[in-house]
A and B are shown apart, each in its own frame.
Chain A
Amino acid sequence: MEIGPYLLLASLEGAVTAAVLALTAVGLSLVFGVMRVVNVAHGEFFMLGAVLAWWISSQVAGHPSLGFAVALLVVPLLVGGLAALADMTILKRISYDPERTIVATIGILYIIQQVTLMTYGPDARPVEPPFNTRLAIPWFEFVEGKPRIYWPWGLSTTTYKLGVIAAAALVLVGVWLLMARSKIGLIMRATQLDRDMALAFGIPVERVYALVFGLGAGLAALAAVLIVPIQQAHYLMGGDPLLLSFVVVIIGGLGSLPGTVVAAILIGLSDGIISVFFSPTLAKILATLLVALVLVFRPQGLFGVRRA
């Protein structure tokens, strides 16, 4: 047996994980970068995205891709709106004090999780993918010194998985354009760099915070909508994305968006490969170990800037 095709398969699986993780972690990183808020409830916004995606796609009649399309558009807005509301009613009231926001977001975590359990229930429910054609994975071999393509038996991916990777890449480019090129991005970066000076130049910082918190949660929800046809929606599914997002954000450098994306690809790919060849638990152990090493040897993260 050759290892090459299996490595390719594992990398593809890892790329799907990386794509979804990058979206989720960029949301977390934005919120931390601009607001200095450690959002422990981030994983629950992810879970809420998945559960709402199931609910909406089960309400919409007709072809499964129609329900999925509606979910893809509506769910991030719903979850983002809910998060903005939580920001205005809870985080603003405690003046974004670092310790109290952690406790408050733990509270939000349990409220969302338990309300989901009471309404949606403990079951894992699937969402039908909008398109899902099986694609065999090609590999090559040398026959009499010439390379020849062949399809190893039993190894395949799906068009939907490739679609998830493409969609995530597209959204990330969108986020980058928003931050680097748009007026609202400029306002967010100014708020991030110096909150008081932003106020002194007429920037409504509280509204920017609500927007950023909503945007962060919306990105997590969008990631969840993309993954739910592969993973199923469950009320406890927010734990892993939260842990991995923190891992990614710390490795990439707190508040650095390019660092977050690079770290997501690194962690996602290694998670996929290690999960396929060894076990998913080992993948998580190694990722957490990597965080510990980064914190010891490069506390500002791989791409972070050390602040004076």
Chain B
Amino acid sequence: MLDVSRIDVAYGPAQILRDLSFSVRAGEILCLLGRNGAGKTTTMKAIMGLLPLLSGDIRLDGRSIGALPAHHVPRAGIGYIPQGRRLFTELSVAQNLEIGLMARGSGPEVLEDVLTLFPRLRERLQQRAETLSGGEQQMLATARALCLQPKVLLLDEPTEGLQPSMIEAIREVITVMRDRGVAILLVEQRVDAVLSVADRVCFIENGQNLETLDAATLRQDHAILERHLGV
């Protein structure tokens, strides 16, 4: 579904990603795991076209999206839930969702479906996004991305700073989306959270691939984790 092949990405003069490759299949959760500064968030920004590729390519369903202008990437079917949520804070919940719907011209039935997944948001449609609690904001960020009926979902630390019940709610929605055949790329710091949902895990270090393993293998052998992450 989503193929990242041998990409190089830099912030100005500082090269962050070197020859990085991985692919996410439909109906699968791939987790990017690595230390702080390994280049996980940069990878997501590069996929969204917010950072230019120096070399390499990114393909969605076989079609190259690596050179598209940034605003065409979501229209191809990629939903982005960034770190720190990045909601349109002064806009209402409904307006945040409307921007998600506009991106690919989704109809009202999509909104209905999203609100069924997150009933808490339905009660708060007219509230400004910045007045929501942290967990509700994360729900809104997720719902906003789901509004464009994504084929691929990018989640950057979705459970950061949330209470356990919220983490559980977010996780449930992620699994629902996987079962619907969405390809999910997840960045997460907490190893236990990763192991409980991921299908495969891709380790990266200094912007390069280490290895990609089945989550089942990792669950059995914690030594691999210690080797790659030093935990």
Contact = CB atoms under 8 A, between A and B. Distances in A.
B91 interface: yes
A200 B104 CA distance: 12
Contacts of A201: 74, 99-100, 102-103, 144, 148
B88 A202 contact: no
B74 A202 contact: yes
Interface residues of B, number: 27
A205 B73 CA distance: 13
Given A199-B70, A200-B80, A203-B71, A186 B50 contact: no
Interface in A167-186: 183, 186
Q: Nearest 8 CB-CB pairs, A to B?
A: A202-B103, A199-B70, A202-B74, A200-B80, A193-B88, A201-B103, A204-B71, A197-B86
Contact of B88 (A183, A197, A199, A205): A197
Interface of B: 48-50, 69-75, 80, 82, 86-91, 95, 98-100, 102-104, 144, 148
Given A186-B98, A186-B99, A202 B71 contact: yes
9 contacts: A187-B102, A194-B88, A197-B88, A200-B82, A201-B103, A202-B103, A203-B71, A204-B69, A204-B71
A262 interface: no
Contact of B50 (A183, A189, A196, A204): A196
Interface residues of A, number: 17
A259 B111 CA distance: 35
A230 interface: no
Contacts of A8: none
Contact of B102 (A183, A189, A200): A183
Contacts of A202: 71-72, 74-75, 102-104, 148
A190 interface: yes
A135 B167 CA distance: 70
B70 A200 contact: yes
Interface in A43-97: none
A193 B98 CA distance: 15
A177 to B, nearest CB: 16
Interface string A194-217: 101111111111000000000000
Contacts of A199: 48-50, 70-71
Give the one of B71, B86, B102, B103 with max A CB within 10 A.
B71
Contacts of A186: 91, 95, 98-99
A204 B89 CA distance: 20
Contacts of B102: 183, 187, 201-203
A187 B80 CA distance: 18
Nearest to B144: A201
A203 B100 CA distance: 10
Given A197-B86, A199-B50, A205-B71, A190 B99 contact: yes
B152 to A, nearest CB: 13
A36 to B, nearest CB: 16
Nearest to B78: A200
A197 B95 contact: no
A189 B82 CA distance: 19
Nearest to B154: A200
Nearest to A305: B90
A226 B53 CA distance: 50
